[in-house]
Structure 1
Amino acid sequence: MPDAHNVLIVVFDGLQPSQITPELMPNLAKFADGGVTFANHHPVFPTVTRVNASSMVTGCLPGRHGLAGNTFLCRDFDPHRIIPAMEPTLQAIADATGKTLLAPTLADILGRHGREYIAIGNGTSGNAYQHNPNAAMVGGATIHPDFTLPRSLHSELETRFGAWPPQELPNTSRLAHARRIMTEYILPELNPAVALLWSSEPDKTQHEDGVGTGRANQALSEADAEFGNVMAWLEQNGRLDTTDVFIASDHGYSTISRVIPVEAMLRDSGFPTIDQNGGVAVAANGGSALFYVNNCDPGVAARFTRWLTAQDWCGPLFASERVGQPAGTLPASIIGCDGLRSPDLIMSFPWNSDANEAGYAGHAPATGGVPGQGQHGSMSRHELRNVGLARGPSLRSKTVIDTPTGNVDLAPTILRLLGITGYEGAMEGRAISEALKDETGSTRDVRTEAHEAETAGYRQKVQVSQFGGARYVDWGNRV
């Protein structure tokens, strides 16, 4: 692999493979035709943004990297309060405990080798924070409309590029501002080993309007145009021959079938708040919910599980080793969701493949929103299939890879491309050798496992694929 080259990652939040068409996204469609398509690409579960962003930069599943959801409970920070994974809270966790992620990030590793990772995006502040939480110590940066790391960079960028535009739907003006900073400052002046551009679209508009609506399609086309501007800059500046470009999305999408007020229902059923004996806390995460029981009490977990599995909206359900194995649950370890900061129980809503009005398959209940809007977070196969593309001098061309790949493979693959070794054992993803020009790829077979559990009136099934030492959740549902 060449030593002196760069990697650029572009993430489209909530983009599905079926949305990359010449009509909706001509620049991405052209990119895909000439490069590598990861046709069996996976997010991690829960299929929410900040969990997947953390897996992208650590190469680890949620149990190991320690960010359990977009909302979660962090017992070593506050054992009784559900908190949002947003920059102010994540910074408070770092100040109190020493770290927000329990695994090193790409930025941390690159910094040890005198290289830098710089991320810019117009998504949530929590997403941006996780990309380089230690920038002040390890170098590089993360740039967001609300803040930067290092902190001093925010005012410098506003002086040079002006204030960020206000949020809107589609959020194109903010993406254009981020793209301008990328092509006028980050790439030409800082020239980091790895740069990332994160688009909040189509996720932002799909949450509001639904998948496939007129404004959601507008968001796709406008985000694609900004991607085209980035690729044009690379070409005009002679950088295509030295830049490996990866395209990803953090998760797929579903349409909300109904809204389940989980916390209100469990309170009405007599479960007190977590600070009381027998109490339970719930962290709502769209198509999934995370549960924490008072003092990690196995008896409370078992009683709560009996109530939960009796609800028709309870889909796949997993238990942390710390609360035992309540009847009907599967071990959270099989999906990579057991660890120091993991929930005691984690549930996905059940789902189906019914199409919405625009023809996009996949419906599921959600913890919030309105029926007909877009949502994610569950174990639906429509959310557990996301976008993975790559193109560049180190990568194969016109290649479709059907072996399982995932967001968790991004960090180890990039480190392989940059010639940085010694971190493979700390990551749960794998370097996707079958995509690399100078490597033959693995000849091992894909191993697919079905896990089932049942109790009175409830049965679940989950499929997990393993390949190259990595594991990928294919789907899980109540059956």
Structure 2
Amino acid sequence: MSRLLATTALCLTLGAMALPAAAEDAAQSPAKRNVVIFVADGLRYTSVTPETAPTMYKLRKDGVDFANSHSTYPTLTTVNAAVIATGHYPGDTGNFGNSMWVAKPVPCRMGASVTFIEDDCILKDVKALYPNDYIAQKTLMETAREAGWNTVVIGKKGPAAIEYLGALESEGKDVGDAKGLFIDDATNRPQNLDGSPSKSTVLKGALAAEVMTVTGGLTAPPFSATPNLTQQAYLRAAATQSILPRLKDAGKPFAIFYWSRDPDTTQHGAMDSDGKLVPGINSTSGRAAISNADSDLKGLLETLKQYDLDKNTDVVVIADHGFSTISHAIPNEDGSVGRNTLAPGFVAMDVGGWLGKKVFDPDREGAEVDTSSGEHPAQGNGLIGDDPEKPEAVVVANGGSTFIYIPDHSPATAKKIYAELVKQPYVGGLFVDDAILSSDKPAFAGALALSQVNFIGSSKMPRPAIIIAFRNFVAKGCVEKLEQMCQAEIADTTLHTGQGMHGSFGRADTRNFMAAIGPDFKKAYVDTTPVGNVDVAPTLAHILGIDLKGPGALKGRVASEALQGGVVPKVVKTTVASDKAANGFQTLLNLQEVDGHRYFTAAGMPGRTVGLEAK
């Protein structure tokens, strides 16, 4: 018999006997809330319909529909994972992209300094290299665990760990472990597919045996697939048939963070629109991926109800970002495209040419790229200079955006690059480091400062000197009713035209799905106040009565208008405009403000950004 059931039986036996005063006070005090955060990776707000996602559609209808939602720019997974975890923007967390130049050798990346960070081993390395600058804030899950909640983090490798990096040291025995329980798709796998160490967790004892039983005898999560059915079925079974019953038996308040790979994984990898912008990610595979995530959520909600946990549990369902269809060519005015002209690494190759320098590939141990034979960087990244160990510029591809770092912070180098960038038809918007921009404002006309998008804060992680938000557009022939469902974007990626990508500043990427339901949230309420991923941690910390601590002032707010008794705040809409470059290029930033908190809707040059209001 569990401790909770034994206590209940004892109370029934005592019948009408008087409880001691302390026990009576405890019985009358409200129970601490449970919370569940469910992330459907890459889910556009406008993708949720009764047909594709009936569970999410109903939750949005019955609870709070965050109709004016915002992903944080760049609209990338790890950027938003850190934002969701801490309630701080990138300038404070130091997590600027899915791929970054960290200026130091990363052991788990074979000593490379440019690295994709969606990996437990690499995340540990980056944190060790920058302990006071990479996610130096206490996350919601870590704070809840220290305050007495049982915590479980489960889901996609990389962003799951960001929610509570310390949980990678979990004992893997039970929900009551000192660091909570952590399971991602690398758990029980000492090595990744490429042979690198995973440094993820290992399940042990009775829990390991139980999870293996409920998942059909599997000793580790399956590898990801398109659609990602088998891997997510494993994680869903572990959560609903093993973990939630254990949380019920523990009799303590709990916080669950569940990160679903789909629809992101399938939207990236689906081949049923290969080479074509239409239907793009609105294909059969893309819709199946949304249903896959919806099934995970349905299982969690039904299990909460089964164990009578739903009445005391607040559930927040969000996406880290939206999504677009990839284009490898500059669009015509009508949204059509011709043959592919933008191969992976096109920005790195351009920068090398503009500076008259060699291009070295950080993903091939610094090997020189043979430009004369048409060779391109393997992953789009490039070390630009005469020596890969001392680059003059570093180009890091991040899908719908690309970062350009200048290691010696030379304004002269930045000017050379910028003078050519502003002419390129693949550019949607440009952002330049404040110090470089202020050194010669006329030379950087057309760009906004990085501080305008919350990139400069308490973190001293290496940050880009220039960020390119690529051009995006409405694809010709798209039959979807809503413009955001038709967005295509230029992307620096090895994926194909017709597959999916994100990272841009178009509204299809910034408008992520957000909804909530539970005892603390209003019922059947459409929240038109701007809200974003940055508000998730502050709002849930407020509900739980815990304080989030850590450096930096670039924070979100408590979305009080969505809570019971909450009042709708005043919203101010503005547009920030850069100076115009000599050729007329200009970056506009549409934003909304609530009590000083800024939400970015779209940014770029008019005519090159979906959802941008030109004023």
Matched, 1:57 2:85: yes
Among 367, 372, 376, the residue aligned to 2:492: 367
Q: Is the 8 A contact 2:475 2:486 kept in 1?
A: yes
- d(CA) in 1 for partners of 2:120 and 2:477? 34
1:422 and 1:386 map into 2 onto residues whose CA distance is 24
2: CA distance, partners of 1:187 / 1:446:
42
Distance 1:226 1:367 in 2: 31
1:208 to 1:200, Cα distance in 2 relative to 1, 3 A: same
**Equivalent position amino acid for 2:593 in 1:** Q
Q: Provide, for residues 386-426 of structure 1, a one-character-per-residue CA deviation record: whole Å limited to 9, x for no partner.
A: 10100001110000000100000000000011012465985
- The answer to whether residue 275 in structure 2 is matched with residue 244 in structure 1 is no
Distance verdict in 2 for CA 1:91–1:398, change over 3 Å: same
Whether 1:471 and 2:471 are equivalent positions in the alignment is no
Partner of 1:331: 449
Q: CA 1:431–1:410 in 2, change beyond 3 Å: closer, same or farther?
A: same
The equivalent residue for 1:16 is 44
Query: Which residues of structure 2 form unaligned runs of 5+?
Result: 1-28, 171-177, 189-197, 213-219, 271-279, 330-341, 359-382, 439-443, 607-615
Q: Which moved more, 1:410-419 or 1:442-451?
A: 442-451
- Whole-angstrom distance in 1 between the partners of 2:201 and 2:589: 47
For residues 197 and 152 of structure 1, do their structure 2 counterparts lie closer, same or farther at Cα, with a shift above 3 Å needed? closer
Give the conservation status (yes or no) of the 8 Å contact 1:447–1:467.
Answer: no
Name the counterpart of 1:286.
399
**Bigger RCO of structures 1 and 2 (CA < 8 A, at least 6 apart):** 1
**1:42-79 deviation line (CA, Å, top 9, x unaligned):** 00001011111110001011111101100011236679
Please tell me the root mean square deviation across aligned C-alpha atoms, in Å: 2.5
Aligned residue number for residue 319 of structure 1: 432
Question: Which residues in structure 2 correspond to 1:49-448 (within 5 Å)?
Answer: 49-75=77-103, 81-85=113-117, 86-98=119-131, 100-121=134-155, 123=156, 125-135=157-167, 136=169, 139-147=179-187, 153-155=202-204, 158-162=208-212, 163-190=220-247, 193-209=254-270, 210-258=280-328, 260=342, 261-269=346-354, 270-272=356-358, 273=383, 279-325=392-438, 326-339=444-457, 340-341=460-461, 342-354=463-475, 357=478, 359=480, 360-368=485-493, 369-421=495-547, 423=549, 428-437=555-564, 439-448=565-574
Q: Per the alignment, in what secondary structure is the counterpart of residue 10 of structure 1?
A: strand
Q: Is the 8 A contact 1:274 1:294 kept in 2?
A: no
Q: Displacement of 1:110 after TM fit? A: 2.1
For 2:473 and 2:589, the matched residues in 1 are separated by: 14
Task: List per-residue Cα deviations over 1:165-223 (Å, max 9, x = no partner).
Answer: 23221112211211222223333324663211111111111112241111221222232
In the alignment, residue 522 of structure 2 is paired with which amino acid? R
Greater Rg, structure 1 or structure 2? 2
TM-score, normalisation: structure 1:
0.92
Q: Report the alpha carbon displacement of residue 449 of structure 1 after superposing the two structures with TM.
A: 3.2
Question: In structure 2, what is the Cα distance between the partners aligned to 1:330 and 1:128?
Answer: 32
Q: What is the number of equivalent residue pairs in this alignment?
A: 476
User: Partners in 2 of 1:18 and 1:105 — Cα distance?
Assistant: 29
* Larger deviation, residues 406-415 vs 426-435: 426-435
Task: Identify the range of structure 1 (311-320 vs 97-106) with the bigger mean alpha-carbon deviation.
Answer: 97-106
Measured in 2, the distance between the counterparts of 1:323 and 1:377 equals: 24
Higher strand content, 1 or 2: 1
Q: Assess if the C-alpha contact under 8 Å between 1:212 and 1:358 holds in 2.
A: no
Return the alpha-carbon distance in structure 2 between the equivalents of residues 152 and 223 of structure 1. 24
Q: Secondary structure at the match of 1:453?
A: coil
Query: Displacement of 1:80 after TM fit?
Result: 7.9
Equivalent residues of 2:352, 2:384 under 8 A apart: no
Distance 1:323 1:108, change over 3 A: farther
- Which runs of no fewer than 5 residues in structure 1 stay unpaired? none
Structure 1: distance between partners of 2:500 and 2:199? 34
SS of the equivalent of 1:382 reads helix
Which sits farther off after the overlay, 460-469 or 104-113? Answer: 104-113
Q: Which residue of 2 aligns with 1:32?
A: 60
Name the CA shift for 1:48/1:444 in 2 (closer, same or farther; >3 Å). same
* TM-score (norm: length of structure 2): 0.73
Secondary structure of the corresponding residue to residue 428 of structure 2: coil
CA contact (8 A) 1:82 1:282 kept: no
Q: Which moved more, 1:198-207 or 1:89-98?
A: 89-98
Q: CA deviation at 1:278?
A: 7.3
